[in-house]
Amino acid sequence: MIINLKSVALAMTSICLFAQCTPTPTSEASYDVIPMPQSITLTESSEPFVLHSGTQISYTAGNADMERNAQFLKDYLAPQLGYELKTVPGIASKGIVLQLVDGEATEGYKITVDANRVLVEATSPAGIFYGIQTIRKSLPVEQGAVVALPAGTITDAPRFDYRGAHLDVCRHFYPVDSIKTYIDMLALHNMNKFHWHLTEDQGWRIEIKQFPKLTEIGSVRNGTMIRKDWDSNDSIQYGGFYTQDECREIVKYAADRYITVIPEIDMPGHMVAAVTAYPELGCTGGPYSVRTIWGVSEELLCAGNDKVYDFVEKVLDEVMDIFPSKDIHIGGDECPKTEWEKCPKCQKKIKELGLKKDKQFTAEQKLQAYFTKHVDEYLTKHGRNAIGWDEILEGGVSENATVMSWRGEVGGIEAARLKHRVIMTPNTYCYFDYYQSKDRDNEPFAIGGFLPASHVYSYEPLPASLTPEEQSYIWGVQCNVWTEYIPTFSQVQYMILPRGAALAEVQWSQPEVKNYEKFKNERLPRLIKIYELNNYNYCKRIYTDKEEPSDLNVGW
Ligand code: ACM
Ligand code: ZN
């Protein structure tokens, strides 16, 4: 008898197909990801789902966000597992299934795993996206892996609606591709707000068409001080800015990843670059020069000059046109009033407005409050909300403003009591420009402080001194990355990783599921594999330094 090998092979393939022949798993997924999900229930008696190169990703058809979500999952897994999964529109009975379900849109999601499917359900594409993040983080980094996903259910939703990360691109400038990578890093940590600090004393970094000198002159400084030697200057011209098209490209890139870009135009202080370009906007008329040293300048916008209000409104018109974010950050921090005290225009304005010193505030502080109110009202009139640093509480806080508490939590507590929305970014837990180790000599030079990942992890953003009703004003939490001493994007990554992972559990996870030992010893090592896959530079001190309670009085 002649055996036809071809038909035997064919017959075997069809048996295999019929029996849903699945390859033998080489590894197992773990749903203990960062940030730790709200609830994970495994059904150990049931067969796992086996993910392999033939697995398909299906998704709710006719929805561009869902199509993009499926593509994201495919793109995340291709380098991680070494193969490309096929994406198909429509809800399949097998494979990974991304399904929108009816209900009020939230960022929550549910993943149900059985032998046939990994079903991700959410009421919004953003919720599906976070389910996708959980899937990618639950899988190993292993070329050609066949992964068993244990049967069970994951139900998850964020603790806070505002989960932010800030980046100062003024003290040092990073190109568009780096900003996109930063946004990718935020998405990996389930963050949804990118606070882009675009203007400073040391450089104006956003093109404003009505005021071209802001970037022609204001984006360039004639050197940079060396470390903390205030009298030094490296004499190297330093500059850079983003065109409006580039800003729009970033907004779209972030929005595709369910991240809102909140631009910051810091005013009336931190404006030396602007007054260098347009000296008539300052109290003295200049001349000014884009600052080459760090620290706080006494050179502010003149709050007694009508032209300044016109300038601010025109700048904000362009900013609002580029950034659809409902929230626009208007700074307000670190405004010494020395010049305003001497400026005839500012003093005339104080008189006209009848601002008087009282036990709490000086007339000049009240002038800043007037300025902030004016800008806040302008934004409100255009359907936007102002966010300001906690100094905006001084002199009476503007009606609609959200307060970003950075000098510890005091400002946030006061604002919540005044029924203002609060974002907690206390320097004591959230300033990622601080050192991650006390072994400063073997760390990249930093501004000071000491903020190890363990201390970030320990942060509880709802102050116990507030009532539950007052706590409800705490909108969320953010890390700030000031870049005086962070000249490269690789160093930005080093400063944010893995502290950003610790923060992600503060922002997203419920306190009951947080556990620092498990975070450090089980979850983070697996997330680090994804950092390494993406060539993200990260700090290893969490594993090499002795754990010690943080001592934030280490000094600058
Ligand atoms: C700040 O750190 N000056 C807000
Ligand atoms: Zn003035």
Q: 408: Cβ below 6 Å to ligand 1? A: no
Q: Could you tell me which residues come within 8 angstroms of residue 28 by beta carbon, excluding any fewer than 6 positions away?
A: 48, 147, 148, 149, 150
Q: Among positive and negative, which fits the CA dihedral 181, 539, 135, 77?
A: positive
Q: Give residue 378 CA to ligand 2 midpoint distance, Å.
A: 21
Please give the pLDDT value at position 390. 98
Q: Is the pLDDT of residue 10 over 50?
A: no
From the CB of 473, is ligand 1 less than 6 Å away?
no
The ligand with the least distance to the CA atom of 341 is 2
Report the percent of the chain where pLDDT is more than 70.
95
pLDDT band at 549 (very low <50, low <70, confident <90, very high): low
DSSP state of 441: G
**116 CA distance to ligand 1 middle (Å):** 51
pLDDT at 6 over 60: no
Q: Which atom belonging to ligand 1 lies closest to the Cα atom of 406?
A: 4
Burial-class residue 171 by CB neighbours within 10 Å (0-12, 13-18, 19+): buried
Is residue 182's pLDDT more than 90? yes
Q: pLDDT tens for residues 349-377?
A: 999 999 999 999 999 999 999 999 999 99
Say if ligand 1 is within 6 A of residue 406 CB.
yes
Identify the residue whose C-alpha is closest to ligand 1 atom 2. Answer: 406
Expressed in angstroms and rounded, the spacing between residue 308 Cα and the centre of ligand 2 is 10
N-to-C CA span, the chain: 88
Higher per-residue pLDDT: 304 or 556: 304
Strand partners, 388: 403
* Atom of ligand 1 lying closest to residue 404 CA: 4
d(CA 525, CA 520): 7
Question: Could you tell me which of 410, 434, 403, 395 has the C-alpha nearest to residue 331?
Answer: 403
Confidence class of residue 20 from pLDDT cuts 50, 70 and 90?
low
Cα(519)–Cα(527) distance, integer angstroms = 10
**536 alpha carbon to ligand 1 midpoint, in Å?**
26
**Could you tell me if the CB of 432 is within 6 A of ligand 1?**
no
Q: Which ligand is nearest to the CA of 346?
A: 2
Q: What is the tens place of the pLDDT at every residue in 404-418?
A: 999 999 999 999 999
Residue 556 pLDDT exceeds 60: no
High-pLDDT (> 90) share of the chain, %:
93
Spatial contact of 438 and 412, defined as CB atoms under 8 Å apart: no
> Is the pLDDT reported for residue 547 higher than 80?
no
Ligand 1 centroid to residue 196 C-alpha, Å:
13
Q: Which residues contact 457 (CB under 8 A, 6 or more apart)?
A: 502, 505, 506, 514, 516, 519
- Per-residue pLDDT, 126: 98
Residue 546: its pLDDT value, please? 85
Q: Average the pLDDT over 114-137 and give the result.
A: 98
pLDDT band at 514 (very low <50, low <70, confident <90, very high): very high
pLDDT of 380 over the 60 cut = yes
Strands 147-149 vs 49-51: parallel, antiparallel or unpaired: antiparallel
* pLDDT over threshold 60, residue 91: yes
> Does the C-beta of 389 come closer than 6 Å to ligand 1?
yes
* Confidence (pTM): 0.96
Confidence check: pLDDT of 11 > 60:
no
Q: Which of 329, 333, 343 is nearest to 296 (CA)?
A: 333
- H-assigned helices in 257-391: 272-277, 306-322, 338-342, 344-353, 363-381
Select from 482, 485, 556 the residue to mutate for testing ligand 1; criterion: most ligand atoms less than 8 Å from CB: 482
Cα-to-centroid distance, 199 and ligand 1 (Å)? 13
Over the stretch 213-239, which tens digit does the pLDDT of each residue have?
Answer: 999 999 999 999 999 999 999 999 999
**pLDDT value at residue 22:** 84
Ligand 1: does its nearest atom lie under 6 Å from the Cβ of 333?
Answer: yes
Which atom of ligand 1 is least distant from the CA of 482?
A: 2
Is pLDDT at 8 greater than 60 in this prediction? no
pLDDT in tens, 260-272: 999 999 999 999 9
> How many whole angstroms from 333 Cα to the centroid of ligand 1?
6
What separation in Å is there between the alpha carbon of 108 and the centre of ligand 1? 32
Q: Which ligand is nearest to the CA of 335?
A: 1
Dist. CA 230 → ligand 1 center (Å): 19
For a mutational test of ligand 1's pocket, the pick from 333, 391, 394, 433, i.e. the residue with the most ligand atoms closer than 8 A to its C-beta, is 333
For residue 296, the ligand closest to its alpha carbon is 1
The verdict on the CB of residue 341 being under 6 Å from ligand 1 is no
Note residues around ion ligand 2 (Cβ under 5 angstroms).
Answer: 283, 302, 304, 343, 345-346
- For ligand 1, atom 3, the nearest C-alpha belongs to 333
Q: Provide the pLDDT for residue 548.
A: 64
CA atoms within 13 A on the CB side of 442: 8
- Cβ of 407 closer than 6 Å to ligand 1, yes or no, is no
The dihedrals phi and psi of 450, each to the nearest 5 degrees, come to -155, 115
Mean pLDDT computed over every residue of the chain:
95
